[in-house]
Chains A and B, each alone.
Chain A
Amino acid sequence: MVRLEKLTKTYKTGDQALKAVDLDIPEGQVLALIGPSGAGKSTLIRCLNRLVEPTGGKAWLGETELTSLSQGRLRKARRRIGMIFQEYALVERLTVMENVLSGRLGYVGFWRSFLRRYPQKDVDEAFRLLDRVGLLHMADKRADELSGGQRQRVGICRALIQDPDLLLVDEPTASLDPKTSRQIMRLIVELCQERRLAAIINIHDVALAQMFVQRVIGLEFGSVVFDGAPDGLTPDVLTQIYGEEDWEATIQKDEGRSSEEVEESAW
Chain B
Amino acid sequence: MVMSVDHVQNLPSHSELKYMLGRRWRKPRFIKRSWLRWLLGVGALIYLIAAVMTVEVNWSRVYEGLDRGWKFVSAFTSPDFVSRGSDIWEGMLESLIMTVTASVVGIAISIPIGLGAARNISPLPVYLICRGIVAISRALQEIIVAILLVAIFGFGPLAGFLTLSFATIGFLSKLLAEEIEAMSRVQAEAVRATGASWLQWINYGVQPQVMPRLIGLSIYRMDINFRESAILGLVGAGGIGATLNTAFDRYEYDTAAAILILIIVIVMAFEYLSGVIRARVQ
Seen from chain A, the residues whose Cβ lies within 8 Å of a Cβ on chain B are 49, 51, 75-79, 81, 83, 85-87, 89-94, 98, 102-107, 110, 113-114, 155, 158, 162, 168, 206, 244-247, 249-250, 266-267
Contacts and interface: CB of A to CB of B under 8 A. Distances in A.
Contacts of A98: 204
B209 A93 contact: yes
Nearest to A238: B1
Contacts of A114: 199-200, 203
Interface in B161-209: 184, 186-187, 189-197, 199-201, 203-205, 208-209
Given A89-B187, A105-B204, A158-B194, 4 more contacts: A89-B184, A91-B191, A91-B209, A105-B200
B191 A105 contact: yes
Contact of A91 (B187, B197, B199): B187
User: Which 8 residue pairs spanning A and B have beta carbons closest together?
Assistant: A106-B195, A105-B196, A78-B195, A89-B190, A79-B195, A93-B208, A83-B193, A89-B186
Nearest to A205: B1
B235 to A, nearest CB: 42
B211 A93 contact: yes
Contacts of B184: 89, 92
Interface residues of B, number: 26
A3 B231 CA distance: 67
B194 A90 contact: no
B197 A245 contact: no
A168 B199 CA distance: 24
A83 B190 contact: yes
A87 B193 CA distance: 15
A102 B205 CA distance: 9
Given A89-B186, A98-B204, A110-B200, A244 B193 contact: no
Contacts of B192: 51, 78
A102 B211 contact: no
Contacts, number: 99
A76 to B, nearest CB: 7
Given A93-B208, A94-B208, A250-B1, A113 B200 contact: yes
A91 B204 contact: yes
11 contacts: A51-B189, A75-B195, A76-B195, A77-B195, A79-B195, A98-B204, A105-B201, A105-B204, A110-B199, A244-B5, A245-B5
A249 B1 CA distance: 9
B208 A110 contact: no
B1 A266 contact: yes
Given A105-B204, A113-B204, A85 B186 contact: yes
A162 B128 CA distance: 36
Interface in B1-15: 1-2, 4-5
Interface string B210-238: 01100000000000000000000000000
Contacts of B2: 245-247, 249-250
B1 A102 contact: no
A102 B194 contact: yes
A51 B193 contact: yes
Contacts of A93: 208-209, 211-212
Contact of B193 (A78, A92, A107): A78
A178 to B, nearest CB: 13
A34 B25 CA distance: 44
B5 A246 contact: yes
Contacts of A267: 1
A101 to B, nearest CB: 9
Contacts of A77: 195
A168 B190 CA distance: 11
Contact of A75 (B1, B197, B203): B197
Interface in B222-271: none
A79 B196 CA distance: 8
Nearest to B282: A93
B195 A158 contact: no
Contact of A245 (B1, B186, B205): B1
B209 to A, nearest CB: 7
A79 B197 CA distance: 11
Nearest to A84: B190
A235 to B, nearest CB: 11
A81 B197 contact: no
Contact of B197 (A89, A105, A250): A105
